[in-house]
Structure 1
Amino acid sequence: MRSGIFGVIKGDSQNLGCTKPTKLSQKLIQTKNSALHGTWFGELSYPAEELLSDPEKFNMLEGPTQGFHYDPQSRKLALHVDFARQHPVFYYHKSQLFAFANSLEKLCELLKAHDIKIKADEQGASMLLTYSSILGNKTLVKGVRKLMPGYSLFYSDNKVELINRNNLQDLDRHISDKSSAIELLDSTFKSVTNAVATTNADLGADQINLLSGGIDSRMVFMQSVKASNSVSTLCFSAEGYLDHQISQQISKDYNIDYNFCNLNPGTYMMCTDSMEDYDGTINFLASAHHRFALNNFNNQGIIASGQLGNEILAEFYNPNNDFYDTLESITTMKGVGGGEKDVWNATPDSTLFKLYNRGFLYTNSAAYSTLDGTLYSPFTSKEFVKAALQLHPSLLKDHFIYLEWMKARYPESICYKWERYRVKPVVGMSLKLAKLKMSILTRFIYPLSNFRCDSMSPLQHWYKESKILQQFFSKTFEENIEQLDSVPSLESFVKQNYAFMNITNKASVLTLLLALKKYVNS
């Protein structure tokens, strides 16, 4: 179980607390009525209690952090989660009871202690199957909500008030000058990447950088080697694939300690522990490879990754996408669904919808699925995201500003191929043709193939080739099929279609069944 804050307020009584940090990278400042827990960079600008009582002051923190403050005079509770929700908080409110915790397991434990019957949220279950994750603030437990990324919550007089500390929708995309854009991106990126290296040095932790063949992790690595005296890299991929080749070459050229974890033949997919890491809100395969690859690393502090750089600077932006287009782009299983309109109405903008629901609540959630370290991407820092959201659309098209930034400030980064397109990341006709080719392959050819060697982790190919994997997914389904009784609206669909689903959708079903068993029917 993760460490962090928890509490129950029932009528005039309160039971508030915080468990001790379990990771080298985490810190805790606790008093009788407050607790600040997690990983933050640099010194605090205010005393912890003052910072925790004011959402604007809490918002000055950078890093995966959570906290609460209770004022016994006004009987007011303030609850906070970090900008990208990398240190999650869940809450429940009904009648005179308000409860919160850093994990769904802990919150369910608190609710059961107060005789609350745990029931499944069928909308949440439906979204888990449809999108491989639960969108918005819902969970698999009825009445339990996520405190959304960058939000604070006040509870007093039996009322809940939610505060969006950043209001990203109000940012204006006014920066159209290339030089100004590059300077803004570079200054924010360097600041937070250097802060990661400094924090690891202060902790006495190793500087570990995840490195693939993509451009995001490459950028973080190239700034990390400038900021840290010693860097180790880790690549996890099918052996011999481009991710392996490119990351190995970069590490060799920089004379860096290189570590490689071969994901072949996919047996790591039989480890479902990530279901609990994700509180049943995300397909367990989303970070099973992270867990597997990091098992042999000691002295983990903040593990640097490049998650979401490409998405934030290019791919999440599509002003022509409406509600239906946006949902279609993230759908992994057809035939189920429901409740998405409310999520869209909360963020009726394609870019921000994807940032929150595909970025922060899905891809970036791997930040808290690592056992010993804290995974962190500088691209998800508050200041970098705000900088990116101020860039004029003309700079985002065809990755223009990203590639120009690389060329201007990290020229060595464009000397290696971009794994996704098999060419160097340089603006020009070669990259345009490579993108067109990849678009055709992705749309028409790859869906008909087994991805034998054209993927970092060819999940479907591994599944088709392995009797062990097939038996595991079949046996686990059969052993837990009775959990579907808790979600009757999905029972018939799942039973009829499970055998014909691809490996990703099978994993979503197993995530649902194991989570229902853990949280609802335990």
Structure 2
Amino acid sequence: MAHSFYLHLSEATARDSSLEHLHISGFVFVEKGNPSNEYSMIIEALDNFGIYAPLHLRGSYAGIYWSSKNNHWILFSDPLGTKPLYYAQLYDGWHISNDYDLLAQTIKTIQPLTLSSLGFYQLLNFGFVLETDTLFNPIKRLPIGYTGTIDTLENEQKPIPGNTLTTHKYYSLPAIGTFFSLDDAAAHMDTLFRAAIKRAFKRDTTKGKIPLVSLSGGLDSRMTSWVAHEMGYTNQLNLCFSQKNSLDHTIACKIAQDLKHMWHFMPLDGGQMLLDLDEITQNTGGNVVYYGQAHTRRILHEIIDKKYDTPLGMLHTGMLGDVVIGSYLRTTDNPTNYSALSGATSTRFAKELLNHGFKPDYQNLEHHKIMLRGLYGMNMGLMSVYAVTESFSPFYDFDFFNFCLQLPLKLRAEHKLYIHWINHYYPKASNYIWERTRTTITAKSLRLGSKSMPLRTWFWKLAEKIQFGEPTHNPRHMTPLDYWFATETKLKSHLNSYFNKYLVLIDKPEMRNNIHELYTSGNGNEKVQALTVIAAAKRYLN
């Protein structure tokens, strides 16, 4: 479980420099020496490198530290922002926490929260609240790649009255600039990937814990589990959730059986996890679409209830794998002029979002999508995990991540490097079907226009389009939202009642009308985005 902290900085609370100097959640990897030295490692890095300290630490963390040397508080998180940090400046000082719910509930006792128009329309368009915004004012998030400082009086922890937070950019996504052959890129990538696996899995095994490893029909979780197994971390508990007998279920089950791993499967048939709105909102504050958290939260509670004899470790995932070794872009074209709404899951209210000042500014389209959909978006999908245990993906290991993103798109696009790496270093892993294509990665591809896929994949996509229209109408999809809304009468009735009951809490007529339109006229994905906002309004505006 990730530790929650809350800090109130004011003249009264910071009197006589009596506050703890370091408040932190998460972990750093200790490469040498005593594994219990994480705390002292963090302090040493902050003392030596100040606002650039996160560049010298590896792990998943967020915190605040008082530097007596520089007379300021430093707000920080790891360079990829896997742990968010929130803050608000009120009349009575600064309120800072890694726990949005704790911070919001505390602020509610001082002043009312109000819906942020930017946060509201970001969630309705992207499914996530992005950059410095959150769903409610006056709470802000420390942006990814930045540290923040709050100046204090000399040799005191008291903030200087009236001063604002100063942000310092210490990390940007790397520009393409590493030119390797395909073979050399795969070789170096493999070395870094194995180092990332060792860091994460060793943290569990040295403490006598069983690594929890998610597994599906995709390549990302497969390679996390497979490479760890080949490196000797064979005592894994593989976790899988999906519609029963979907490819995500059957492929993952076969891999776990062949590797002789422990196995826990949770069927999603019926979509009952969509009822867990209130529980998930407590973990996320409503800042990320709730349904992506629901299955992970339920399966973790299931395995806790089973009471394994050996302590359970952290959840090892394949998060961001296909956009780090691969790319969000399907071709090598990476424009510097692009739509601010690129990567949105719904554009029904794009105009409203832009009118409220949404103007992300990144170097190119790939960076835009990695930051918004990947780091600000997908990473937030782990917030409910942190309520139970820690989590890490070797694909967002900082050294591995940076190396891959410096490689030219001609190596990464269309999974070229990814497939080459698997075929040459882990050929047995290529024998299983890849859920995305319905065939193995060794199948030859056929290019039609800008898309290249195996012939079997072309036929399957055409047949699915004819029969179901969209994949989420297919009952064999991993999480068929539209199928559930169409067939699960009691589930839909309950969610409709929930939405209608708390819709009145959206007090601005235009916003209330827009979210009502999104829920009543939208597809399954848009419906759960609307429900996410309503659940948050229930918790924080009620």
Does the pair score TM above 0.5?
yes
Q: Distance in 1 between matches of 2:357 and 2:457?
A: 34
The answer (yes or no) to whether the contact 2:472–2:479 under 8 Å persists in 1 is: no
Classify the secondary structure of the residue corresponding to 1:259.
strand
Structure 2 counterparts to residues 433-448 of structure 1, below 5 A: 433-434=455-456, 436-437=458-459, 446-447=468-469
Deviation (angstroms), 1:449: 7.1
Of the candidates 141, 148, 152, which is equivalent to residue 143 of structure 2? Answer: 148
Q: Which stretch shows the higher mean deviation, 7-16 or 489-498?
A: 7-16
Stretches of structure 1 lacking an aligned partner (at least 5 in a row): 18-29
Inter-CA distance 251–446: structure 2 relative to 1 (3 Å threshold)? same
Letter in 1 for 2:250: Q
Contact 1:300 / 1:372 at 8 angstroms: preserved in 2?
no
Which residue does the alignment assign to 1:204? 208
Matched, 1:133 2:128: yes
Tell me which amino acid in the other structure corresponds to 1:91: Y
In structure 2, distance between residues paired with 1:47 and 1:449? 47
Aligned to 2:255: 250
| Per-residue deviation, residues 7-64 of structure 1 (Å, max 9, x unmatched) | 22235753899xxxxxxxxxxxx98222333122225586432323423333322222
Aligned-pair identity in percent equals 21
User: Measured at CA, do residues 282 and 457 of structure 1 come closer, stay the same or move farther in structure 2, by a change above 3 Å?
Assistant: same
Please report the TM-score for the alignment, with normalisation by the length of structure 1.
Answer: 0.88
Separation (CA, whole Å) in 2 of partners of 1:175 and 1:368: 36
Alignment-derived partner of residue 25 in structure 1: none
Instruction: State TM-score, norm by structure 2.
Output: 0.85
Q: 1:509 aligns with which of 521, 530, 534?
A: 530
- SS of equivalent residue, structure 1 residue 250: helix
Counterpart of 2:510 in structure 1 is 489
The equivalent residue for 1:364 is 379
SS at the partner of 1:207? strand
Q: 1:180 aligns with which of 180, 184, 188?
A: 184
Deviations 1:103-156 (A, max 9, x none): 22222244345x344222112111111111112221111232111233211111
Contact 1:323–1:344, Cα closer than 8 Å, also in 2 = no
The answer to whether the aligner puts 1:284 opposite 2:305 as a matched pair is no
Q: Deviations over 1:447-472 (max 9, x none)?
A: 35763334112121122111111111
* Alignment partner of 1:467 out of 480, 489, 502: 489
3-state SS in 2 of match to 1:152: strand
1:33-182 matched pairs, under 5 angstroms: 33-42=21-30, 43=35, 47-53=41-47, 54-72=50-68, 75-93=71-89, 97-112=93-108, 115-156=110-151, 157=160, 158-169=163-174, 171-182=175-186
2:92 and 2:100 map into 1 onto residues whose CA distance is 20
Deviations 1:352-399 (A, max 9, x none): 222121112222223331232223211112111101111112101321
Q: Is the 8 A contact 1:52 1:67 kept in 2?
A: no
1:175-230 CA-to-partner distances (Å, cap 9, x unmatched) read: 23112211221112111111221111122221121111111111101112123141
Give the aligned length.
Answer: 506
**Counterpart residue identity of residue 509, structure 2:** P
Counterpart residue number, 1:27: none
Q: Distance in 2 between matches of 1:9 and 1:243?
A: 48
With 495-504 and 197-206 compared, the bigger mean Cα shift is at 495-504
Q: For 2:482 and 2:410, how far apart are their aligned partners in 1?
A: 38
Distance (whole Å) between structure 1 residues aligned to residue 247 and residue 271 of structure 2: 17
Superposed, 1:217-296 pairs within 5 Å as 217-225=221-229, 226-272=231-277, 273-296=279-302
Root-mean-square deviation (CA, aligned residues, Å) is: 2.9
Of residues 358-367 and 458-467 in structure 1, the stretch that sits farther from structure 2 once superposed is 358-367
Check 1:15–1:402 CA distance in 2 against 1; reply closer, same or farther (3 A cut).
farther
Q: Which amino acid aligns with 1:314?
A: G
Task: Work out whether residues 416 and 424 of structure 1, in 8 Å CA contact, stay in contact via their aligned partners in 2.
Answer: yes
Aligned counterparts of 2:169 and 2:482: Cα–Cα separation in 1: 40
* 1:294-328 deviation line (CA, Å, top 9, x unaligned): 22213332111112101222232464456655624
- Matching residue of 1:499: 520
1:309 aligns with 2:321: yes
- CA 1:14–1:62 in 2, change beyond 3 Å: closer, same or farther? same
Q: CA 1:360/1:444 → structure 2, altered by over 3 Å: closer, same or farther?
A: farther
Summarize the Cα distance change of 1:224–1:2 in structure 2 as closer, same or farther, 3 Å threshold: closer
Are the equivalent residues in 1 in contact too, given 2:212–2:236 (CA < 8 A)?
A: yes
Give the letter for the 1:518 counterpart. R
Report the equivalent of 1:390.
406
